[in-house]
Amino acid sequence: MTTETGARDPDALVRRAGKRADTRKDQHFLVDDRVLDRIPGYATEAGADCSHVLEIGGGPGALTDRLLAVADRVTVVERDPDFAAHLGEEFAEEVADGRLTVVQGDALDVALPEFTASISNLPYGASSEIAFRLLPAGKPLVLMFQREFAERMAADPGTDDYGRLSVTAGHYADVEVVETVPPEAFDPQPRVTSAVVRTTPRTPDYTVPDDAFFMDFLKAVFTQRRKTMRNAIRNTAHISGLGDPDAVVDAADEELLSARAGTLAPRDFATLATLAYEVGEPEA
């Protein structure tokens, strides 16, 4: 059965898969046709190259079906072996034509292919880890998250939602929430509202000496976001790996040291992290 747009009916796909979603495995399948139809457009309308789309968590295949309508090729990574087998059978023609590749495995463990964009309804329990595996690839992403996570990811400095997640995501891309999605759009319904995030890769307007150190520095100072940066840097050397945090404090600008993490712009963190890398004796 197909919908009026010619796409496969999501409820029918669930039936043909022969099993229901297991919430213990963080499975909530998007079954709202209107939302499913809109999601690929968030990538194409922004000019994303959809020649090879990566989907994480294909489930019964409702979004996979929509992606095949706009992409030259799709690779779907599905952890559940039953759903992976179902996808291979449901889309046997597309698999045979080389337009669909199904990879059975955990997206945090398997080798991901080269891709031009990723469009996915992520499993929420692993959404942060998966997103930060995808973001450094520098490709456009359209990803479904819990709304709270999505809003923190896209937050601006000085707002309540702004934090380490905002700075880290913004290091790799411009981030925007393009749609909120109610629980009723899923089967079974999650307990939270969801949101679709679109990221557009960009080069930040600052430089850092080492990405890994920058991420550790952010993790450290945001554990004490209510402290001044002076105290945050001194108190979190065991997290950032600094051997001499006092040297950083002695060398840094007083205006930055007096601020709190939630008010600083990403370039301010880059300035402090660069100084910390140069004079703070970070662990090798």
Indicate if 137 and 28 belong to the same structural domain. Answer: yes
pLDDT at 1: 44
Q: List, as one string, the DSSP characters of 156-192.
A: PTTSTT-SHHHHHHHHHEEEEEEEEE-GGGEESPPSS
Indicate if 182 and 241 belong to the same structural domain. Answer: no
The answer to the question of whether 143 is labelled as a binding residue is no
The answer to the question of whether 32 is labelled as a binding residue is no
* CA–CA separation, 219 and 104 (whole Å): 32
pLDDT at 20: 83
Enclosing domain of residue 63: 10-201
* CA–CA separation, 154 and 75 (whole Å): 27
Whose CA is closest to 266, among 191, 166, 127? Answer: 166
Indicate if 31 and 122 belong to the same structural domain. Answer: yes
The answer to the question of whether 106 is labelled as a binding residue is yes
Total domains in the chain come to: 2
CATH of the domain at 215: 1.10.8
Residue 206 belongs to some domain of the structure: no
Mean pLDDT of the chain: 95
pLDDT tens per residue across span 6-28: 699 999 999 999 988 888 777 88
Indicate if 145 and 262 belong to the same structural domain. Answer: no
Indicate if 192 and 85 belong to the same structural domain. Answer: yes
Indicate if 176 and 219 belong to the same structural domain. Answer: no
* CA–CA separation, 275 and 264 (whole Å): 16
Q: Residue type at 3?
A: T
DSSP SS3 for 197: strand
The answer to the question of whether 30 is labelled as a binding residue is yes
- Asked if 92 and 113 count as a contact pair (C-beta separation under 8 A), the reply is no
Q: Please, which residues bridge with residue 142 across strands?
A: 119, 198
Indicate if 124 and 262 belong to the same structural domain. Answer: no
pLDDT at 35: 98
pLDDT at 21: 80
CATH of the domain at 32: 3.40.50.150
DSSP SS3 for 142: strand
Nearest 5 degrees, angle CA 250-CA 254-CA 257? 80
Instruction: Give the domain-ending residue among 169, 201, 233.
Output: 201
Indicate if 189 and 275 belong to the same structural domain. Answer: no
Indicate if 66 and 106 belong to the same structural domain. Answer: yes
Residue 4 belongs to some domain of the structure: no
| Sign of the alpha-carbon torsion through 245, 172, 154, 77 | negative
pLDDT at 26: 78
Strands 117-121 and 52-56: parallel
Residue 166 belongs to some domain of the structure: yes
Indicate if 184 and 261 belong to the same structural domain. Answer: no
pLDDT tens per residue across span 66-116: 999 999 999 999 999 999 999 999 999 999 999 999 999 999 999 999 999
% of the chain exceeding 70 in pLDDT: 98
Indicate if 165 and 231 belong to the same structural domain. Answer: no
Whose CA is closest to 7, among 43, 42, 32? Answer: 32
pLDDT at 5: 56
Q: What stretches in the chain show pLDDT beneath 50?
A: 1-2, 4
Measured CA to CA in angstroms, residue 168 lies from 8, 153, 232, 246 at distances of 37, 8, 18, 25
Indicate if 163 and 29 belong to the same structural domain. Answer: yes
Whose CA is closest to 204, among 257, 274, 152? Answer: 274
